[in-house]
Amino acid sequence: MDIYLPIANLSVNALVIIGLGGLVGLLSGMFGVGGGFLTTPLLIFYGIPPTVAAASSATQVMGASVSSVVGHVGRKTIDFQMGGVMVVGGVIGAGIGAVIFRVLERIGQIDTVIGILYVVMLGSIGMLMARESIHALIMARRGERLEARKRRHHPLVSALPLRWRFYASGLYISPFAPLLLGIFSGIITMLMGIGGGFVLVPAMIYILGMSTQLVIGTSLFQILFVTMVTTMVHATTTHAVDLVLAFLLLIGSVIGAQIGGRISMKARPEYLRVALAFIVLIVAIRMALGLGWRPDEIYTVTLQ
Amino acid sequence: MRRLAALLCALVLLVTGQAALAQKEAPQLVPDVSQRTVEIKFSFTGAELLLFGAILYPGGRVPEKPADIIVVLKGPSQAIKMREKQKVAGIWVNADSIDFRSAPSFYAVGSSRPIDKLVDERTAAIYELGLAKLQLSPSSLNDTTEIDRFSDGLKELQARKGLYLEEPGSVEITDGVLYRARLPLSARVVTGTYTAETFLVQNGRVLAAATREIEVRKTGFERLIGLFAREHDLVYGLAAVALALGMGLLAGVIAGRVGSAFG
């Protein structure tokens, strides 16, 4: 079933896009990540221009995370104060990201930078996750209980000026720490079309020292707003949000997310995390090879 | 004075003679296209244009060596920047670039016989017959070997996308008088005014040429989306946000109902 994408200006197989959205939704439902880190590269492999892929993928991540956020609100597992600071940072970051995007696009290096960012970010996070989750798995096999990590924020965080009390998280830290984290996630959301959940979650645990109960809900809350802002920024600056593409991706991902959610309730979390770590690593390796391999097309054309 | 008069006389004779010759012997072209507008709808996967018409030979007699037909379909010209990837420090990055001031967004040529058998180099260059003769107006910043490399690269790239194509032998001529040519229009074409040119060629000379215009445009929903994305970008962005939030919430509610019904 072929369908014409009015902004990407090409015709795609609607079922492939819905399937792709479904796969990403399945993963996001299973692991609680936005799944944007898979959507953007897969869309680019399929032949969608990178800018349109990143912009429309941000729109999809927003739709995929909204119902989880509602669930977390109900369960009171969001630190709104912390999330609010991070959203402010995310909005600033999206603005900075838009400027970087435009500059890189003008000098023709946006594709390479997106590629390198993917390799570095996914590679390092994937390794971290793999190491940690395999360790946890071995411990579980031996029947030992993992020692609860002492909750402590990173020493660097203490060096920042000003301190706020974050009551829900039980933290007394500088608001600049979550603000900077938010700015960083805003920039990568704008550039890579990812929600940034897989960066935010470990950063909030290891750098801010938040408890795991609040981390998922708070990061989803931040992702929801940042992807919303990113969609608006893309719509008004790069004009690259393809509504038809986003709609097709959303159909797949909202269905996939529900199925994924059911699976995650039955599967054991240690195994899920090992699986996620390997998926992230595979995408990183594929992107790395893509940078080194001779591309299919040496030439690219942009309108002036 | 006398020499001038003689010259004028000769000129008049020449002109009237040629005109008479043309009226008597030059065939004429009556061209048409299957559609004057191509509409891009949600199900658009490309189109096929039929360029057809008749060759009117003087006296209705088809000569022993009938004329040939060349058809050219050209899309709106664009100013483009073309970048070339090179391997730098192990990865492929955009290194070199060139500006083309007027590259056609679409170019298809069809002919009844290979073009190099029909016209010489000079004539082909004048009428831009064939991919090799396409005028791209490169910027003067690059040297000629670079310009050639980029031009060839562009033609190959666009050919792979189905935007530049050369189809010798695609024009059929029935009984020497009726011709028709089918040219495929890729789904990646841009909107705008396209020109369909038909050339009647005999003995290496272009005897007649005719142009028809074809409008390629988005219609209905696709046009609306394109228009909103460009002209009302704020509304468009809000619509995207509303769509995503609405679908996400709806799915959550439905799944909740279904889940509670079964669980």
| Cα–Cα distance measured from residue A33 to residue B127, given in angstroms and rounded to the nearest whole number | 58
The domains of chain A are located at: 10-292
Rounded mean pLDDT of A179-199?
83
Report pLDDT for B221. 82
Residues of chain A contacting residue B236, judged by C-beta atoms under 8 Å apart: 235, 241, 243
The predicted structure's pLDDT at residue A149: 57
- The confidence score (pLDDT) of residue B3 equals 55
Q: Is the pLDDT of residue A57 over 90?
A: no
User: What mean pLDDT do residues A125-154 have?
Assistant: 75
The reported pLDDT for the residue numbered B263 is 34
The residue-averaged pLDDT of A98-106 equals: 88
Is there a contact between B185 and B47 (Cβ–Cβ < 8 Å)? yes
Looking at the complex, report in whole angstroms how far the Cα of residue A181 sits from the nearest Cα belonging to chain B: 24
Domain B26-218 falls under CATH 3.40.190.10: no
Contact residues on chain B for A235, CB-CB shorter than 8 A: 229, 233-234, 236-237, 240
Contacts with A, B 162-191, CB within 8 Å: 187-188, 190
- A255 and B247 within 8 Å at the Cβ level: the answer is no
Residues in contact with A159: Cβ distance below 8 Å, sequence separation at least 6, in sequence order: none
CA distance A45 to A50: 9
Tokens 């030059």 sit at which residue? Answer: B26
Q: For residue A146, what pLDDT is reported?
A: 56
Catalogue the E-assigned strands of chain A: 2-5, 10-13, 164-166, 171-173, 299-303
Position A35: which residue type?
Answer: G
Average pLDDT over residues A19-46: 81
Residue B195's pLDDT is 92
What is the model's pLDDT at position B17? 45
Residues of chain B with pLDDT under 70: 1-25, 140, 256-263
Asked whether the beta carbons of B102 and B137 are under 8 A apart, the reply is yes
Asked if residue A17 has pLDDT above 60, the reply is yes
* Phi, psi of A168, deg, nearest 5: -60, -40
| Contact in structure between B204 and B123 (CB atoms under 8 Å) | yes
Note the pLDDT tens digit of each residue in A248-277: 999 998 888 778 777 877 777 777 778 888
Residues recorded for chain A:
304
Measure the CA–CA gap between A246 and B138, rounded to whole angstroms: 37
| CA angle (A43 as vertex; A42, A47 as ends), nearest 5 | 115
DSSP letter at B138? B
Residue A16 pLDDT class (50, 70, 90 cuts): very high
Which amino acid, residue A182? G
Q: What is the pLDDT of residue A54?
A: 84
Read off the pLDDT of residues A111-139 as tens digits, 9 standing for 90 and up. Answer: 888 888 888 888 888 888 888 888 888 88
Contacts of B218 in chain A (CB under 8 A): 6
**What per-residue confidence (pLDDT) applies to B262?**
41
Q: What percent of chain A clears pLDDT 70, i.e. is strictly above it? A: 95
Task: Give the nearest partner residue to A301 out of B82, B237, B245, using CB atoms.
Answer: B82
Asked if the Cβ–Cβ distance from B241 to A247 is below 8 Å, we say: no
Asked which of A155-159, A183-187, B83-87, B126-130 is least confident by mean pLDDT, the reply is: A155-159
Higher pLDDT, B263 or A155: A155
Q: Which residue has the higher pLDDT, B51 or A176?
A: B51
Q: Cβ of B2 under 8 Å from any chain A Cβ?
A: no
Contact B33, B214 (CB under 8 A): yes
CB A204 within 8 A of CB A68: no
Q: Tens digits of per-residue pLDDT, A59-76?
A: 888 888 887 788 778 777
Q: Which residue from A minimizes the CA distance to B217? A: A6
- The pLDDT score that the predictor gives to residue A144 is 66
